[in-house]
């Protein structure tokens, strides 16, 4: 069970949640929803003990599993095989290592003491179903679309999508009593999403999930916690039922707020008219108190639209051919990820890169962006080409550095222009001076896109640019990119986004097969 009492959360000097209380019991499946920047990820970090609360208390019974929106591999874990990392979810990796040490000690000294110690360790291993653990891990990993051979590789050679699947496998394998999942369907194909939804439906613990995947929210949850403007409102039922109830609430709140405004105006008119008269002074003071009480305790309704309106600048002129790739190959010390990949890209052309997780899509874009070295082949850029790279794991967003400084490092433009670009992506006001490390995944996506916009590029390398965005923001970004006349190399699992961009050609990885794009391929986008 997860219990929250009078909780307040502060981010960058702003309260994103004020005195909220709720409980998620065993068997409950709650979805936490709200626009990008509402404070969902900040709340999750407090609930899971990553950050302190501003006020209030959080408690939970039993063990807790937490999937971060952007899980990062710790340097000390990069060399260990993925399977070993997953087994650590139950502490089985340490138990296996301990059993091996005790076995060696037993061989050196078969004393009763060493026999007993080895026996106790073996009994504990059996109690935790250690002998069946690897089969269970591989079953979960297969359900999430992670090939059995990938589990035997070190974490450092896996793609970002594969590492996220490994982390999700570890959390599900651990068998926690409370699960807190932040965007669990990122990087999952259609089959893996279906498997995950089935797993979550059968899960008997307390589940709290943040997701912009409407299918997941509709099928897997029974309650919705709506977060906005520091307030939390709870709705019973599925996501579809929540949408109807929320729409009705907004109509009601609008009417109540309008009635309050009218009452405040009526009372204020009386105070302005008769406040100076001695015979009406007492009554006027009473009305001033009523005004203050309404303004303090009354409902608020903000009709201001929060949808972002993104406009990309015209790209600088480039030559007829902007990119030429010949015989490219890449490996990470083992079998090659891909070999002999060749293609070119013309001015204004859009190339879609497709392939299963681990096929080398991100590795290819990192080489093109100069973030990684190829093992063979060449990359050449045409005349006047300026390259912008959107990295799916936000490698260019640094903790301890505010948003405005990020923008200044991206482009030599006046501060008011840079602030305007941040505002275009909904990062307004004091947000510009906030530590970028405290941003949610959706806000980091917007910051990265704002940095691209500031740089005036004519070739964009986009690796899953819609991950973590709420639906209105995703639509705004898609509309802006679809109208932009520059060149693009695109990786995406979002069929609607790809449909909007209408690429001309497709590169199938790891084979490096080049073909013309057809909308028939949209059915494969979510799977590749």
If you ran DSSP here, which 8-state letter would residue 61 be given? S
pLDDT tens-digit series, residues 278-310: 767 788 788 888 888 887 777 666 655 555 678
- Please give the torsion angle defined by the CA atoms of residues 84, 90, 91 and 92, in that order, rounded to the nearest 10 degrees: -60
Q: What angle do CA 428, 433, 438 make, to 5 degrees?
A: 90
CATH number of the domain enclosing 492: 3.40.50.300
pLDDT tens-digit series, residues 437-471: 888 888 888 899 889 888 889 999 999 888 878 77
For 222-241, give one letter per residue: b (16+ CB within 10 A) or e. ebbbbbbebebeebeebbee
Helices (H), 275-402: 281-297, 361-368
Q: Which residue has the higher pLDDT, 324 or 266?
A: 324
* Count of domains forming the chain: 1
The answer to whether position 431 is within a domain reads yes
Q: Is the pLDDT confidence value at 413 over 80?
A: yes
The answer to whether position 236 is within a domain reads no
Q: Quick one: average pLDDT of 203-210?
A: 92
DSSP 421-454: HHHHTT--GGGGGSBGGGS-HHHHHHHHHHHHHH
pLDDT tens-digit series, residues 337-385: 899 999 999 999 999 999 987 788 989 999 999 988 999 999 999 999 9
Average pLDDT, the chain: 86
Please say whether the beta carbons of 399 and 474 come within 8 A.
Answer: no
The answer to whether position 166 is within a domain reads no
The answer to whether position 419 is within a domain reads yes
pLDDT tens-digit series, residues 31-56: 998 887 788 888 999 999 989 999 99
Rounded Cα distance, 183 and 144, in Å: 14
Q: Give, in order, the Cα–Cα distances in Å from 206 to each of 189, 195, 201, 202, 227.
A: 25, 19, 11, 11, 19
With a pLDDT cut of 90, the percent of the chain lying above it is 34
pLDDT tens-digit series, residues 106-156: 888 888 888 888 888 888 888 777 788 889 999 999 998 887 788 888 888
Rounded Cα distance, 46 and 50, in Å: 6
Rounded Cα distance, 206 and 177, in Å: 6
Q: CA quadruple 167, 168, 169, 170: dihedral positive or negative?
A: positive
The answer to whether position 163 is within a domain reads no
User: What is the pLDDT, as a whole number, of residue 484?
Assistant: 92
Tokens of 24: 């998620």
pLDDT tens-digit series, residues 73-82: 676 677 888 8
Task: Please report which confidence band the pLDDT of residue 214 belongs to, taking 50, 70 and 90 as the band edges.
Answer: confident
User: What is the pLDDT, as a whole number, of residue 299?
Assistant: 66
Helices (H), 470-525: 471-483, 495-501, 522-525
DSSP 166-190: HHHHHHHHHT-SEEEEESTTTT--H
The answer to whether position 443 is within a domain reads yes
Q: Is the pLDDT confidence value at 102 over 80?
A: yes
| Beta partners for residue 381, in sequence order | 323
Residue 434, domain extent? 321-525
The residue count of the chain comes to 528
Taking the complete model, does pTM exceed 0.85, yes or no?
no
User: What is the pLDDT, as a whole number, of residue 302?
Assistant: 61
User: What is the pLDDT, as a whole number, of residue 329?
Assistant: 95
With a pLDDT cut of 70, the percent of the chain lying above it is 96
Rounded Cα distance, 117 and 97, in Å: 14
User: What is the pLDDT, as a whole number, of residue 189?
Assistant: 76
Q: Is the pLDDT confidence value at 434 over 60?
A: yes
The answer to whether position 345 is within a domain reads yes
Residue entry with tokens 């303090």:
296
Task: Please report which confidence band the pLDDT of residue 528 belongs to, taking 50, 70 and 90 as the band edges.
Answer: low
Q: Is the pLDDT confidence value at 237 over 70?
A: yes
């Amino acid at each position: 069970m997860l219990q929250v009492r009078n909780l307040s959360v502060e981010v960058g000097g702003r309260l994103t949640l004020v005195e909220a209380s709720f409980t998620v019991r065993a068997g409950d499946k709650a979805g936490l929803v709200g626009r990008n920047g509402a404070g969902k990820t900040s709340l999750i970090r407090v609930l899971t003990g990553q950050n302190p609360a501003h006020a209030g208390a959080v408690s939970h019974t039993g063990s807790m599993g937490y999937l971060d929106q952007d899980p990062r591999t710790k340097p000390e874990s990069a060399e260990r095989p993925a399977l070993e990392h997953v087994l650590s979810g139950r502490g089985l990796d340490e138990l296996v290592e301990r059993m091996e040490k005790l076995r060696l000690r037993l061989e050196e000294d078969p004393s009763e003491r060493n026999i007993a110690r080895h026996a106790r360790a073996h009994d504990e291993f059996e109690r935790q179903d250690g002998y069946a653990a690897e089969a269970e891990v591989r079953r979960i990993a297969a359900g999430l679309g992670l090939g059995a051979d990938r589990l035997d590789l070190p974490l450092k050679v896996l793609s970002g999508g594969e590492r996220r699947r490994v982390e999700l496998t570890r959390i599900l394998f651990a068998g926690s009593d409370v699960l807190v999942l932040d965007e669990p369907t990122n990087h999952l194909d259609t089959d893996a999403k279906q498997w995950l939804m089935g797993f979550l439906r059968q899960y008997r613990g307390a589940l709290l999930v943040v997701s912009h995947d409407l299918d997941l929210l509709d099928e897997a949850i029974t309650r919705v916690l709506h977060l906005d403007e520091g307030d939390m409102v709870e709705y019973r039922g599925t996501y579809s039922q929540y949408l109807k109830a929320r729409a009705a609430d907004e109509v009601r709140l609008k009417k109540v707020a309008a009635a309050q405004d009218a009452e405040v105006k009526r009372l204020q008119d009386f105070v302005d008219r008769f406040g100076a008269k001695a015979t009406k002074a007492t009554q006027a003071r009473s009305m001033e108190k009523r005004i203050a009480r309404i303004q303090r305790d009354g409902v608020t309704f903000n009709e201001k639209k929060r949808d972002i309106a993104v406009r990309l600048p015209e790209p600088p002129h480039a030559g007829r051919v902007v990119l030429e790739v010949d015989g490219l190959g890449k490996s990470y010390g083992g079998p090659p990820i891909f070999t002999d990949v060749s293609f070119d890209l013309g001015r204004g052309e859009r190339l879609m890169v497709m392939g299963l997780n681990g096929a080398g899509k991100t590795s290819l874009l990192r080489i093109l962006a100069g973030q990684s070295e190829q093992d063979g082949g060449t990359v050449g850029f045409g005349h006047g080409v300026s390259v912008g790279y959107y990295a799916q794991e936000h490698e260019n967003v640094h903790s301890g550095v505010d948003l405005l400084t990020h923008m200044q490092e991206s482009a030599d433009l006046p501060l008011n222009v840079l602030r305007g670009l941040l505002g275009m992506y909904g990062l307004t006001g004091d947000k510009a001076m906030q530590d970028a490390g405290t941003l949610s995944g959706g806000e980091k996506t917007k910051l990265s896109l704002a940095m691209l916009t500031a740089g005036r590029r004519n070739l964009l390398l986009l690796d899953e640019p819609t991950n973590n965005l709420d639906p209105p923001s995703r639509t705004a970004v898609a509309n802006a990119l679809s109208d932009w006349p520059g060149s693009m190399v695109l990786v995406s699992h979002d069929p609607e986004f790809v449909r909007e961009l209408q690429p001309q050609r497709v590169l199938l990885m790891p084979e490096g097969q080049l073909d013309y794009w057809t909308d028939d391929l949209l059915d494969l986008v979510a799977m590749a």
